[in-house]
Structure 1
Amino acid sequence: MRNELPSAKEMQSYDSATIEAGTDSLVLMERAGRSIFEFIIDNYKDCLHAGSILTILAGPGNNGGDGLVIARYLLEKGCFVKVVVAASDKYSVEFSKQLSNFRDCVTKSQAKLTECLYLFGENRSELDSLSELSSVDKKQLKQILAESAVVVDALLGTGTNSEPRGEIGAIIETVDRWQTAESAPIISVDVPSGLNVDSGQAYSPCISADSTVAIELIKRGMLQHPAKVHCGEISQISIGIKVDGASQFELLCEDTVAEVPVRNPNSHKGSFGQVFVVGGCRLMPGAPMLSAYSALRSGAGTVYMTSFVGGVQLAAPAELMHIPILDKEYFDSECFPLILSRLEKASAAVIGPGFGSSEKIRPFLAQVLTVLQEKNIPAVIDADALNHLALEIGKDGFELRNHVITPHPGEAARLLKTSTEQVQADRYKAVEELYLRTGATVVLKGASSIVYHGEKGWVNQTGNPYMATAGSGDVLAGIIASLLAQGLDCVESAKLGTFVHGLAGDRAHAQLSGPIIASDIIEAIPGLL
C-alpha cells in the first residue's frame, strides 16, 4: 500500500506522466477494470449466485470507461450484467472505445443488447454505440437497482468540484432514495460519485458506497469526513501509474514516522529531557496533570507541572514534581517569577491546558512565549493558550516557529477568524492557513488528524471515536512534549506523537471493550514507544 495521498491535480499529473512515458490510457483503463472485477469476484462471492444481476452505473468520462471494462469482464465470466449509461452531450474517447468493446462482448455472448445496456435520459450525442438502447427513467432505474445483487458506481471521478447535475445528479438521487441497510452493496470506482477528493466534501447528492476501490492511490479527501463515511471500506489497487514526485500529503504510518532514539545503556534521567507543563487554574487542575503524566509515561526523564494550591485537589502520581501557585484563581503576571527558573531549565514545555479564559492570563502568556523564544525551548501550545493567542494573532511579539500547536476545529476557527464549519469543510486548507499565520508545526485534531509543516502534511488513521473524551487532547500534548524533550524535532514529535496517541486509544478501547477516558489512553502508552 502506497502512502501518498494526492490531490486531484497531483493524481492527474501522475496519470499524464505515465501516459507520456508510453503506457496507453486504454491499457491503464483495462488494468483498472480487470482489477476491480477481480475485487468484486473475491469479495462479493455471496452476492454472485446464478441469475444474480450486477448493475454498472456509468458516467460519460473515463470513470465510466472503467465501469464498462468491469461490465465486460463480468459478462465474459457468465454474470448477468446491466449497464446504465448517463446521457450526455459528450463522451470521452476512452469511454466510447470501451462502450464499443462492451457491445461486441454482448454480441459474442448472445445476450440481448436491450437487456444489458440502458441509457438514462435522452440521447443527445452522435455516438453510434448509444443507438438502439433502451431508455430508462428514475422509476425504471429504481426497479433495476431493486433487482441487483451488486451495484458499481462508475459515474464520476476525481475531477468533481461541484454538485452533480443533470442525468448524473438524477441517477445519484435515485440511488440515494433506493438505498437502505438491506439493499445491494455499492462499490465505487476510485471515488464515490459526488465527492470532492481534495477537501473531503460530499456534495448533494453523493453516493454512499459500501466499498471504494482506489486506483493506484487513495486521494487525500477520502480520509476526511464526511468523505470517509461515503467511501465505506477503502481498498487500493495498483495499475502501474508512475508516481513521479511526492504528494503534498502522505499517510501517517509506521513507514512515515521517526523512531524514538535508542537509549544508551549508560543513560540517566537527564538524558531524556525535562518537560515543564504550565497550565491549570484553581478550578481546573486536571488538564495539566494529564499532560504531565502522559509526558512521563512517554519517556521524559523528569516532568514538572504547575499546581494551584487551595483549589480542587487531585491525587497526582508521585513521580510528578510540582511548582505551587499560591493564592491565585488564574495565572497572571505576578505568577511569572514563580515559574521562570524552571521554565528556563526545561527541554520542552506544554503551555495552556486548563488555563481558563481570564484576561489576566494574556500578559503572563506573552512573558512565557518570550522566554521560550529567547531560550529556544520548543513547546506544545494547546487549549486555552490557543484561545488567548487567537485574540492577539496578527500582532507582533508571538513567534511560534519553534513550537507545535494542537488546535481542535473550534480553536482552529478562532485562530483563523472563521467558523468551525469552514474549518471542517476543508481541513487541508485550514492547516495550511494555520501554518502560514503562525509558522508552527500544526496538529489539527479530530477524526483523521492532520500534521502539517511547511509544504508537507501527514494524515493520521489511528484512533477511534471513543477518544472523543475530556482530556484526550491534553494527553496528546504531553506525548508530543515528551518526544521533544527526548530530542526529536517539532515535525517528527508531532507526527509520532499523533500516531502513538491514536494507537494508545485503540489499545485502551480494545482492552476495555467500551468507552474510555483520558487516563486509560495514558496507561496504554507503555510498549508503544
Structure 2
Amino acid sequence: MIGTCGCHILPFQLNIFMPEKKPMAQNRSTTQALYLNHQVRDIDYTAIHRLPAHLRIDGYALMCRAGLAAFKQLRQHWPTCQSLLVFTGPGNNGGDAWVVAKLAHQAGISVQVIFISAPTSQSCIQAAADYHAAGGTSKAVDFQMLDQDLAKADCLVDGLLGSGFSGVLRGDYPQLIQMINAANKPLLALDIPSGLNGDNGVASASTIVADLTISFIAATLGLFTADASHFTGKVIVEDLQLPAQAFLAHVPVGHLLDSQLPKSLIQPRHGNSYKNHHGHLLLAGGSQNMGGAILLAATAAAKTGAGLVSSLVNDNYCPAFTAAHPGIMFAGWKSADLQLMLNKANALVIGPGMGQSSQAQQLVSALIDNDLPKVIDADALNLLASQAALTDKLQKNAPLVITPHPGEAARLLNISTIEVQSDRLSAVKLLQQKFGGVAVLKGAGSLIYDGQQLWCCPFGNPGMAVAGMGDLLAGIIGSFLAQGHSALNSACLGVLIHAQAGDIAADAGQIGLQAVDLLPSLRGLVNPTC
C-alpha cells in the first residue's frame, strides 16, 4: 500500500499530475494482529499440547504467566492499592484471577476473593488451592454483604468470564456485574470485560466496565470495535512469551491501525513542487440547505494536502462559498461544464450534502461512470442502495472507497442496522464483495477491508458522533486519493488521521464537540516529520 510525493519532478506544465510512489504493502509485522476467539483458544491449546516437547508450556505454568503479567499491570497502574477484591468464575479466566490474588496477598495487599461458583477446570482448581495454601481467604458471592465488600476495596479484578463468552448472561452474573459497576472502583479485567463478546465487540445488557483490560496471548477483534471501547478502558496485550510456532496455523483476521502510519506513508514534498503535482480533487454535493457538508469535506481535503480542490454545489451557493473560501473553486450543478471538470480531476468525492433529488441522481450517474479514483459517501450511497441501475454503472475496476455508517451499510446490504452492528466483520466484507474497492464501515472501531486486508481503527471517541464528521472523513480520504495514494492507503490514512484529530479535539471535552473542531489539527497530522 502507499505512496507520497515523488522526488523526481517534471518541468512545470499545466495539469501535470505527479502520482505517488509505487504502492507497497503496509508492514503488518509491526502492527497489532487481531484474531477471533476460536483462534486464540487454539493457539493456547497448541502451546500446551501440540508443539514439540521442548517448546510446550504446561497449562498451569501458562496460567501463572498470565496472572503475573496482570499483577504487574495492576501494580503499575494503581501503585497505592492496599485492598483488592477479586471476582472469579469457574474456568481458566477465574484461574488467572486466583493467581493475581495469590501474588497480591504475597505482596502484602489485603485480598478477598469472591467466587460466583467453585473452580471446575483443572488449572483453576490448582490456582485456587495455591492461593489458599499461601494463606488467602475467599467466599462465595453474598449479595447482602457485597456492597460492604466493594466499599472496602481500593481496586477490583474481573476474572468472571473469559473471551469465549457469547450469548446471554444468566444466573447471578447480571446482578453481580451491575453491583460491581455501581461501586465505581478502579477495575482490571482479565482477558476481556465479562459480558463483552470477543469476536464482535457486542456487549450484554450487563457488562463489566473496566479501566484496564489485559488480553492474554493475542488480541481479539471484539476488543476494538462496536461496543468495546465503552467497556475495555485501556487495552494491553501480553503474549505470555508463547513460541512463534504456536501462531503459525492461524492467519490474523486483521490488524490495528498504528499511529505511526503517516510517517511511513507521507513523505516531505520536493522543493520544486507545483500544486498540480499534489492532485486535483473534485467534490460533488452541497444541495439546497445542505451546503455545510461539502464545505467541511472540501476544507478537510485542502488541509490534508490536495493541491487543488474544486466543488460542484447548488448554483445558489457559489458566490457566497467562493467569497468565504477563496482557496477552493466552486461551480454550480447546472452551470458547470462537468466533462471539463472531470478531465482536470485526479479523484472524486461524491455525496456530502447531495440529497436524493432527481437532479442528484443524474449527477451521481454522470460521476460514477468513469475510471477516476473516487470516494462514495452519504446520499450517494443511499442512491446506490435505492437505484440498482447506479450500482450497475459503477466501474469496479477503478480505485474506489465507500464510507457507509451502519445505517447506510444496512441499506446497501438490505439488512437491519442491528444486523450490521452485531457482526461488523461480516458486514464490511459483504460491502466490499458487492461494490469492490475498499469498504470503510464507520463507527466505533471503524473497519477497513479491501478484499484481502482488514484494518481496525482503535482511535476516536464518542464525541465524534455528530453531524459533519463523515463529510470530513470523505474529504480526507479523497485528498489522499488525489495525491496518488492507493485506495487502501487512502482509506487507512484517512480513517486514522480523522480519528486522531477527533481525539485531539476531545481534549477540551467530548460533549459539544463539532466537526469543525477537527480542522485545526489536520495539517499537523499530515506533517508527521515536522
Short-chain TM bin: 0.7 to 0.9
Aligned counterpart, 1:31: 65
Alpha carbons of structure 1 residues 185 and 403: separation in structure 2 relative to 1, 3 Å: same
Match of 1:481 in 2: 478
Structure-1 residue corresponding to 2:186: 185
| Structure 1 segment 107-506 matched on structure 2, within 5 A | 116-118=137-139, 120=140, 137-166=142-171, 170-177=172-179, 179-180=181-182, 183-241=184-242, 242=244, 243-244=247-248, 246-256=251-261, 258-310=264-316, 313-314=320-321, 315-326=323-334, 338-370=337-369, 372=370, 376-393=371-388, 396-400=392-396, 402-506=399-503
Tell me, what secondary structure is at the counterpart of 2:327? coil
Q: Is 1:80 equivalent to 2:110 in the alignment?
A: yes
Is 1:65 aligned with 2:86? no
Match of 1:8 among 9, 17, 37: 37
- Residue 518 of structure 1: how far off its partner (Å): 3.0
Q: Offset at 1:459?
A: 1.7
Q: Distance in 2 between matches of 1:57 and 1:145?
A: 11
SS of 2:199's equivalent in the other structure is coil
1:192-224 Cα offsets, whole Å, 9 max, x none, are 111101111112332222322222433221222
Asked whether the equivalents of residues 289 and 316 of structure 1 are also in contact (C-alpha less than 8 Å), the reply is no
Q: Residues 282 and 309 of structure 1 are in contact (CA less than 8 Å); yes or no, is this contact kept in structure 2?
A: no
Verify the 8 A CA contact 1:200 1:225 in the aligned structure 2.
yes
CA distance in 1: counterparts of 2:510 and 2:436, whole angstroms: 40
Q: Which moved more, 1:493-502 or 1:431-440?
A: 431-440
Tell me the matched-pair count: 483
- 2: distance between equivalents of 1:179 and 1:280? 45
**Residue identity matched to 2:79:** K
CA RMSD of aligned residues (A): 2.7
* In structure 1, C-alpha distance between the alignment counterparts of 2:405 and 2:138, rounded to whole Å: 49
Native 8 Å contact 2:214 2:235 kept in 1? yes
CA distance in 2, matches of 1:207, 1:96: 24
- Report if the CA contact (8 A) 2:476-2:498 is conserved: yes
Amino acid at match of 1:193: S
Deviation string for 1:167-194 (max 9, x for gaps)?
xxx04412413543x5543321111111
What is the CA distance between 1:159 and its match in structure 2? 0.7
> Judging changes above 3 Å, is the alpha-carbon distance between structure 1 residues 142 and 500 closer, same or farther for their aligned structure 2 residues?
same
Deviations 1:369-391 (A, max 9, x none): 11x2xxx2110101110010011
Checking the alignment, whether the CA contact within 8 Å between 2:177 and 2:206 is kept in structure 1 is: no
Confirm whether residue 102 of structure 1 aligns to residue 106 of structure 2: no
What is the TM-score when the length of structure 2 is the normalising length? 0.83
Matched letter for residue 178 of structure 2: D
Q: CA 1:503/1:230 → structure 2, altered by over 3 Å: closer, same or farther?
A: closer
Q: Is the contact made by 2:283 and 2:294 (CA closer than 8 Å) also made in structure 1?
A: yes
SS at match of 2:472: helix
TM-superposed deviation, 1:63 = 0.7
Q: Deviations over 1:400-426 (max 9, x none)?
A: 452101112221121121222332233
CA contact (8 A) 2:31 2:258 kept: no
Q: Residues 267 and 34 (structure 1 numbering): CA distance in 2 closer, same or farther, change over 3 Å? A: same
State the distance in 2 between where 1:506 and 1:206 align: 25
Per-residue CA deviation, residues 221-265 of structure 1 (Å, 9 max, x unaligned), is 122242221223333334113444552221111345651244233
Map of 2:75 onto structure 1 = 41
The structural deviation recorded for 1:147 is 3.6
CA deviation profile, 1:330-389 (whole Å, cap 9, x unmatched): xxxxx7xx312211332111011111121343243223211x2xxx21101011100100
Cα distance in 1 for partners of 2:108, 2:31 equals: 34
Shift of 1:300: 1.4
The CA distance in 2 between the partners of 1:471 and 1:57, in whole Å, is: 43
Taking the aligned partners of 1:251 and 1:385, their CA distance within structure 2 comes to: 28
Distance 1:26 1:256 in 2: 38
Query: What whole-Å deviation, never above 9, does each CA across 1:466-512 have from its counterpart, x for those lacking one?
Result: 33333222121111111111111000000001111122233344479
CA distance change for structure 1 residues 311 and 232 in 2, over 3 Å: closer, same or farther?
A: closer
Other structure's SS at 2:384 match: helix
- 1:165: how far off? 2.5
CA contact (8 A) 1:157 1:191 kept: yes
SS for the counterpart of 1:5 is: strand
Aligned residues with identical type, % of pairs: 35
Contact 1:28 1:240 in 2 (8 A): no
* 1:266 CA displacement: 2.7
- Give, in whole Å, the separation in 1 of the partners of 2:499 and 2:146: 43
Evaluate the alpha carbon distance shift between residue 509 and residue 161 of structure 1 in structure 2; reply closer, same or farther with a 3 A threshold.
closer
In the alignment, what sits opposite 1:128? none
**Greater Rg over alpha carbons, structure:** 1
- SS for the counterpart of 1:45 is coil
Deviation (angstroms), 1:393: 4.7
Contact 2:347–2:482, Cα closer than 8 Å, also in 1: yes
- Equivalent AA in structure 2 for residue 503 of structure 1: Q
1:131-185 deviations in Å (ceiling 9; x for gaps): xxxxx5432445433443332211111111111224xxx04412413543x5543
**Alpha-carbon deviation of 1:66?**
0.7
- Specify the code of the residue in structure 2 equivalent to 1:523: P
Tell me the amino acid that sits aligned with residue 247 of structure 1. Answer: P
**SS of the counterpart of 2:415?**
coil
Task: Quote the offset at 1:514 in angstroms.
Answer: 7.5
Structure 2 CA distance, aligned partners of 1:286 and 1:41?
A: 49
Superposition deviation, residue 31 in structure 1: 0.9
Cα distance in 1, alignment partners of residues 117 and 185 from structure 2: 24
Q: Which amino acid aligns with 1:75?
A: H
Q: Which runs of 5+ in 2 are unaligned?
A: 1-29
Give the 3 Å change call, closer, same or farther, for CA 264–150 of structure 1 in structure 2.
closer
Distance 1:466 1:310, change over 3 A: same
Which residue is equivalent to 2:10? none
Which secondary structure state, in structure 2, belongs to the residue aligned with residue 265 of structure 1?
coil
Query: In the alignment, is the contact (CA less than 8 A) between 1:71 and 1:83 conserved in 2?
Result: yes
Tell me the secondary structure at the aligned position of residue 12 of structure 1: helix
Q: CA deviation at 1:270?
A: 1.9
How far apart, in 2, do the equivalents of 1:247 and 1:360 lie?
45
